[in-house]
Each structure stands twice: as C-alpha cells, then as structure tokens.
Structure 1
Amino acid sequence: MSFQAPTAQRFVTPSGDEMVIIPRAEYDRLVALAAEIDEDAEDVATYDRAKAALATAADVVLPPEVSRRMLAGASLIKAIRKWRLLTQEQVAAHTGLAQGYLSDIEGGRKKGTPETLAKLAEALDVPDFWLQTPGT
C-alpha cells in the first residue's frame, strides 16, 4: 500500500485571490523568520547610515578610547590601531608597509605620504580625513 498525499483544496476569495492554508506552527515560524530578516535589514541600514555619516562629516568626534589614549601620549594612528585591537604587524600586512615604517609614523619620526595615510585609514577602517593633516 502506498502513501497518498491528500489532494489540496483550492480556496479563492471573492476578489479572486488564492488562499493558502498552513499549520499554525509553520505560520508562527514564518512570522518569526520575517521579523528576524526585517531586524537584520534594519541593522544593515543603520550600519550603512553610520558609515556614510563618518565618511562625510569632518567634525566627527573621535571615540572616547582613542581620545584617552592620545591624552596619555599615544599618536592618533597608534590610538586608533589600539582601539581597533590590531597589532602593527597586522596593519603592516594589510597595507603592504614595513612594520618599522609604521612604527616610525606612530612615533612621529616619519609623517607618511597622503597615499600611505589613506592606506592606513583603510586598514584601520576610519575615514581618510581622520589621518590627513591640513594641507595634504
């Protein structure tokens, strides 16, 4: 004896829309999934808005941890790198710069070209203008 699936019944509203009947548990699962997708989409939109604001707002305040490190004597680049929990080796590998050169920039012994600073900004995931000095 083989299993026969029940034949589906077709329900149509007076306006001609076809209806679907599903178990309540499946409906609840779909509603929860839709809510999760909406929440994820809103999180992505919030992140995108924040990144766009950072990229265009030259008067953005540095994160407090970065400011604290700078007040304690760290350079801006070092403070941002530490805030991002990165080592000089990791930043150097991402930028293609020598670790010693990065150390010289962080220590103020070298300034870094605008191109170098742009690479560092990308590696540190901050807007370019955070690392550019006026006139460069």
Structure 2
Amino acid sequence: MKPQLIRTDLGEELVVLTHREYLALRARAGEEDAEDEMAGLIAAERLRDLDEGRDVVLPEWFCDAAAKGEGSVLRGLRKSRALSQAQVATKAGITQGYYSDVERGAAIPTLDVLDRISAALDLDPQWLRRLERNRVAAA
C-alpha cells in the first residue's frame, strides 16, 4: 500500500500509514515490542485464515517437522529448537515423563500446561492450542 502524504498549512509533509505498516517499520528498525506485536498480529491473521478455510503459509518449524516425519509436530518443534525433553519440561514446570506423554499424544494437557510448554518453546500459545484441539477432535 502506498502511504498517503498530507501537507500541513506550514508546508510540512506528513505520512499516513496503517497500524500494520507502522508496526512493520518499527520492527524492521529492531524495536522488540513492535516485533512481538507484529508476530502476534501475523499469528492471529493466520489463525483467522485457517478458521475461514483459506490456505496459509505455515511456520518453518512446522514444515520442517512434517517433512522430517518427526512423529509429532511438537517433537519436531522441540528438536528444531535444539532442546531436550528434560529442558522443555523444566522450563514448563512439568516432569520430563509427563512432557514425553504429551509429545507422543499419550496425555491430554490442560490449557495451562499447553501455554507453559508454548512459553518453554518460545511459541505463540495459539499454535499449540490449535494443534491439540485438532488432535483431540481426530481421536
């Protein structure tokens, strides 16, 4: 989208951007808050696209896990982050055994546990919530 230019009575030019364009500009400049907000905005848009049945571009970690046949997307994600089950479990405040059960689909975690695993893997919690909801629905 081409930015709109507005000239003030004093001859100064102002640029009008959408909020998304403004965030992207700040994120490109390296502002962490803007990067985080932009990542959340993109994730929310992808989830809406999925809900509405549109094709989406999936994150690299998801595609890598699927391509390698890692057994589970969660396992592939953990491996792509170069983390052990014990490291993820410790960060999430759960036991390694329980995390292993979650990873192989033998346990159904609560939303709180899913969110803590998401945080441990540096992942938007909505991705794991959606993956888990789809897994449970398919079972």
Shorter-chain-normalised TM-score: which range?
0.5 to 0.7
2:94 equivalent in structure 1? 97
Q: Which residue identity is paired with 2:38?
A: A
Calculate the TM-score normalised by the size of structure 2. 0.57
Q: 2: distance between equivalents of 1:95 and 1:65?
A: 19
Matched, 1:56 2:44: yes
User: How far is 1:73 from its partner?
Assistant: 4.0
Aligned residues: 98
Mapping of residues 27-38 of structure 1, within 5 Å = none
Structure 1 stretch 63-72 or stretch 73-82: which is displaced more? 63-72
CA contact (8 A) 1:121 1:127 kept: yes
Q: Distance in 2 between matches of 1:70 and 1:111?
A: 21
Partner of 2:35: 47
Ranked by relative contact order (alpha carbons within 8 Å, sequence separation 6 or more), the top structure is 1
C-alpha contact 1:66 1:83 (8 A) present in aligned 2: no
Residue matched to 1:11: none
Identify the structure with the greater helix proportion.
2
Unaligned segments of structure 1, at least 5 residues? 1-38
- What TM-score do you get using the length of structure 1 for normalisation? 0.58
Structure 2 residue corresponding to 1:121, chosen from 118, 121, 135: 118
What amino acid does structure 2 have at the position aligned with 1:69? A
Which ranges of structure 2 fall in alignment gaps of 5 or more residues? 1-25, 50-55
Counterpart check, 1:68 vs 2:64: yes
> Rg larger in 1 or in 2?
1
Percent identity between matched residues is 32
Instruction: Call closer, same or farther: CA 1:50–1:89 in 2, change over 3 Å.
Output: same
CA 1:82–1:61 in structure 2 vs 1: closer, same or farther (change >3 Å)?
farther
Partners in 2 of 1:41 and 1:107 — Cα distance? Answer: 38
Classify 1:61/1:125 alpha carbon distance in 2 versus 1 (closer, same or farther; 3 Å): farther
Give the SS at the match of 2:123: coil
Question: 1:129 Cα shift?
Answer: 1.2
